[in-house]
Amino acid sequence: EPEVTQTPSHQVTQMGQEVILRCVPISNHLYFYWYRQILGQKVEFLVSFYNNEISEKSEIFDDQFSVERPDGSNFTLKIRSTKLEDSAMYFCASSARAGLSTDTQYFGPGTRLTVL
Amino acid sequence: KQEVTQIPAALSVPEGENLVLNCSFTDSAIYNLQWFRQDPGKGLTSLLLIQSSQREQTSGRLNASLDKSSGRSTLYIAASQPGDSATYLCAVRPLSAGGTSYGKLTFGQGTILTVHP
């Protein structure tokens, strides 16, 4: 069964460093998302992406964050200058079509980001 | 702003019991509602999706209901098994202005379920 994959599974970085989290969505999906979950807190929406542009973003997704689909298979989240509070599990998700009420989002296993 | 709340926060039951997990949301203008399962340190597995026009959805031992007007959904698990132990998350997809939806999900905090043998 097709699945969303994410690399790396765990990333440790120093405060102020740039990190890139990578995702490979399900191959025929058109809509892509990033969410994050700080330990012990709710899963929070960061950004949605369709047709090579951001369709919606949350207040969390400030100028330090960017997303890109550099080729036909990868979807990346870049954090330019990491802060301690960016430590979280980051989930990538994809869906076939966001325009249908039957559309299911499929989540990857997550990347645990630890900022020291 | 949509808020999603799940009760109870944790539930421990003996194997074989039927159980109900509750989810409530503050804004009834939703596109659909999804129930997910999350195992410790793992990703989210979609269990059921209910469209806003539906009342319930079933998959195996799982049955989810939706009462949009009252802002409630329940997940019923029949004949629980130790393998059902996990955190169960409810997420709503709101309608944006103009009746569209870009897919953003708003999550509850989850119910931690433990089924002991």
Q: What is the pLDDT of residue B100?
A: 62
Whose tokens are 């990538």? That residue is A92
pLDDT tens by residue, B56-83: 999 999 999 999 999 999 999 999 999 9
- For the segment A68-115, what is each residue's pLDDT rounded down to a tens digit? 998 878 999 999 999 999 999 999 999 987 666 667 899 999 999 999
| B87 close to A (CB below 8 A) | no
Contacts of B45 in chain A (CB under 8 A): 107
Contacts of B9 in chain A (CB under 8 A): none
The predicted pLDDT at position B103 comes to 78
Q: Which of A39, A23, A35 is nearest to A87 (CA)?
A: A39
How many residues does the structure list for chain B? Answer: 117
Tell me the per-residue pLDDT of B39-55, one tens digit each, with 9 for 90 and over: 987 889 999 999 988 99
Helix (H, G, I), strand (E, B) or coil at B29: coil
Residue of B nearest to A93 (CA): B44
The tally of CA atoms less than 13 A away on the side-chain side of residue B25 is 29
Report how far apart, in Å, the C-alpha atoms of B111 and of each of A5, A9, B21, B49 are.
26, 25, 7, 18
| Three-class secondary structure assignment of B25-91 | ECCCCEEEEEEEEECCCCCEEEEEEEECCCCEEEECCEEEEEECCCCEEEEEECCCCHHHCEEEEEE
pLDDT at B98 over 80: no
Rounded Cα distance between B64 and B51, Å, is: 11
Nearest to B51 among A44, A101, A108 (CB): A101
Structural contact between residues A32 and A46, judged by C-beta atoms closer than 8 angstroms:
no
Judge whether B55 is closer than 8 Å to chain A, CB to CB.
no
Look up residue B38 and give its two tokens. Answer: 């999350």
**Residue of A43, A89, A95 best to disrupt the B interface, most CBs of B under 10 A:** A43
Distance to chain A for B58, nearest Cα, Å: 14
